[in-house]
Amino acid sequence: MTQDPSKDQYTMAADELERAVRHYREAARHSELGEHVQAAHHAHIARGHFLNAQGLAHDAARWHADRFSDTVMAEHPVAEQPVAPV
Contact 26, 41 (CB under 8 A): no
Cα angle at 73 between 72 and 78, to 5 degrees? 135
3-57 pLDDT per residue, tens: 888 899 999 999 999 999 999 999 999 999 999 999 999 999 999 999 999 999 9
Quick one: the chain helix, strand, coil %, rounded to 5?
Answer: 80, 0, 20
pTM for the model stands at 0.76
- Whether residue 2 has pLDDT greater than 70: no
Q: What pLDDT does residue 1 have?
A: 45
Q: What pLDDT does residue 16 have?
A: 98
Q: Name the residue with higher pLDDT: 24 or 69.
A: 24
